[in-house]
Amino acid sequence: MNDRPHTIAFVDLAPRPGGSIVSLLLLAQGLAERRRLGDDPAPLYRLAVVLNAANPAVARFRDSGFFAGGVLTIGSRQGLGDDYPALVERARSSGPLARLRRLPAFLAAWQGAGALRRLLADTLPQARRLRNLLAPVQPDLVHLNDIVPVSRAGILAASWLQRPIVCHVRALDPLTWTDRWLTRRVDGFIYISQAVAEQQRQAGAQVRRGQVAPNAVNPDDFPPTLRSGAARQELGIAHDAFVVGSLGRLVTWKGHHVALTAFAAFARQCPTAHLLIVGAPDVAEPDLEQSLRRLAVELGIADRVTFAGQRDDVPQVMATLDVLCHCAIEPEPFGRVVIEGMASRRPVIASAAGGVLEIIESGVNGLLVPPGDAAALAAALTDLWQHPSKPLAWPRPAVSGSKRTTRSPNMWPASKPCTTTSGARLAAPGQVGRHERTCPPIFTLVAVAATDGPGCRHRDPGPGAWPHPLGCAAPAADGGAGRGGLCPLARHA
C-alpha cells in the first residue's frame, strides 16, 4: 500500500492579490492541517501551487508553510487584456471596421478569428509551460482557482498530464465556444455561490458535475479584542470619527465612485464622518485611483477621504470601521468582503445583486440597497448613524453564517453548501494513466475544505443540517451508499 500523501496542485495566475488569492490560502490551510488518524498524524495531502510571477502575494504563499510541494511561478498576461500587433490595433479602431462589426455575421467571424488567435498565440504556449512546470510535481489532482476563461491553459496542461481537474469558479463571466468545449475536460466544478452556478448553467457549463461551496473566513482572524486606535492613528483618522469603509480592488464595477457620491451626501449630516477606501489599482484600470481622487475633490470631501492602498491586515482595517459598504454596481459572484465585515462584527450595507443575496437578509443581518444607487446608500448610512443600536440586534457571525446557521467550529461559511454530484476519482498517489470519472469525487474534499464542513457522519443528518457532501448514508466500511471503496471523508469525521 502506498501511504504517500495525495498531491494537489493549485493554479492561480491572478496578477494581484484579491479574493481568489485569500480564499486559496484559506483552502490550502484547511487541507494542509488535515492529518491521518491514529498514531501516525502524517499529512493527508501534499500541496503545491503555481502563481503569477508578478503577483506580490507569492511571498505570502512561500511564508505560509502550507506548500510542501513547492510554490512555483510562471509569467502570465492574465488580466492584461489582448496584446494585438500595431496594424491590428489600428484596424480595430478604424471607422469602416467599426461599421462592419455591427453586422452579426461579420462580428461572429471577427470574434471567432480572435478566439483562434488567442488559442494559438497565448493559450497553447502557456499550457505547454504549465505542463512542464506541473509534470515534476506529479499531481494527483489539479485545482484551477478561477473561471474557465482564465483557466484554459491549465485545463489543457492537466489534460495532457492525464490528471483529474477541478475548476473553482469564482466569477460571473460568459463562456465562449472554446470554453464550453473545455468544460467537458473538467472533472468537477466548485461554485462559490448559487448565483455563479446558475449563471454558468445558463452559459452552457456542465453544472451537473459541480457543487456550491461558499467562501469562508476563519473567525480566529477576527477576534473581538482588536481595537481601532492604532490603525486610525496610522491612517491619520480621528479617534472619534464615524468611519465608513469601502474595500476592494480599484476597478469601476466595485463601485468606489458610488461610495464617494453617497458619502458626500451623508457627510453633510454627519460632521465626524470619514471615508476609508482600501484597495490596490487593478492592472486593467491603472488610472482609476486618480479618477476617484479627482471625484473626491469635485464633491468637496477630499479632506475626509483616505486612500489606504493595498492592505494585508484586513482584520485590523475592519476594526477601524463603524460601518462597511459594499458598493458593487454589477452582480458580485460572492462578496468575500461582506463576510469579512460580518466576522468583524461590523454592520454591512451591500449591493442587492449576485451572491450577496445569499448572504444578507436586509434588516436581519445587514442592509441591502440597489446597485449603483448612491441616494439609497446615503440614506442607509444615515439610518445606521442615527440608530447605532440597530445592528446590535443582528445575529453574530460566531453563531450564524448570514442567512443560515453553520455548525463548523473552525471556519465560518457564508451559507450552507448545496452539494450534488460526481467528479473525478483520485488515482493512487503517483499513479500514471487516464483517470476515471467515477465516485467518490475527490474534488468534494477540496470543496469541503473550502467551507470546512463537518465532514462525513455516515447517517442522515436530519432536517436543516448539513448533508454529507457525497450523499453518503452508509457506514464507511460499506463504501458509502454502495459507491465502492472507502468514503474519503471518513478520515476527517
Indicate the pTM of the whole model: 0.78
What is the structure's pLDDT at 60? 95
What is the structure's pLDDT at 37? 57
CA distance 360 to 484: 40
C-alpha to C-alpha distances, 394 to 63, 194, 279, 295, 388, nearest whole angstrom: 37, 24, 28, 34, 12
Q: Is the domain of 176 the same as that of 228?
A: no
> For 219-233, what is each residue's pLDDT tens digit?
888 998 888 888 899
What is the structure's pLDDT at 474? 28
CA distance 364 to 192: 22
Q: Mean per-residue pLDDT for 368-394? A: 92
Q: Is the domain of 381 the same as that of 232?
A: yes
Last residue of a domain, one of 393, 424, 455: 393
Q: Is the domain of 87 the same as that of 140?
A: yes
Q: Is the domain of 163 the same as that of 35?
A: yes
How large a percentage of the chain has pLDDT more than 70?
69
> For 427-448, what is each residue's pLDDT tens digit?
333 333 333 333 233 444 555 4
Specify if 412 maps to a domain.
Answer: no
Number of structural domains, the chain?
2
Count the helix, strand and coil residues of the chain and give each as a percent rounded to the nearest 5: 40, 15, 45
Q: Is the domain of 28 the same as that of 122?
A: yes
What is the structure's pLDDT at 55? 92
Q: Is the domain of 228 the same as that of 141?
A: no
Residue ranges making up the domain that contains 113: 6-213
Q: Please report which helix (H) or strand (E) contains residue 343, including its range.
A: helix 336-343
Question: Which of 75-89, 298-312, 444-458 shows the lowest mean pLDDT across its residues?
Answer: 444-458
Specify if 457 maps to a domain.
Answer: no
Q: Is the domain of 196 the same as that of 250?
A: no
Q: Mean per-residue pLDDT for 65-69? A: 93
Specify if 237 maps to a domain.
Answer: yes
Specify if 167 maps to a domain.
Answer: yes
Q: Is the domain of 209 the same as that of 227?
A: no
CATH number where 60 lies: 3.40.50.2000
Q: Is the domain of 287 the same as that of 314?
A: yes
Last residue of a domain, one of 353, 377, 393: 393
What is the structure's pLDDT at 228? 84
Question: Which of 84-88, 384-388, 390-394 shows the lowest mean pLDDT across its residues?
Answer: 84-88
**All residues at 6 or more sequence positions from 21 whose CB lies less than 8 Å from its CB, including other chains:** 12, 14, 55, 57
Q: Mean per-residue pLDDT for 122-151? A: 94
Q: Is the domain of 46 the same as that of 126?
A: yes
> For 407-416, what is each residue's pLDDT tens digit?
232 333 333 3
Specify if 426 maps to a domain.
Answer: no
Specify if 493 maps to a domain.
Answer: no
Q: Is the domain of 173 the same as that of 45?
A: yes
Specify if 415 maps to a domain.
Answer: no
Specify if 460 maps to a domain.
Answer: no
What is the structure's pLDDT at 315? 94
Q: Is the domain of 38 the same as that of 168?
A: yes
Sign of CA dihedral 315, 317, 322, 327: negative
- Report the candidate in 441, 401, 403 with the shortest Cα–Cα distance to residue 421: 441
CA distance 357 to 331: 10
DSSP 122: I
Q: Which three cell numbers stand for residue 268?
A: 453633510
Last residue of a domain, one of 157, 192, 213: 213
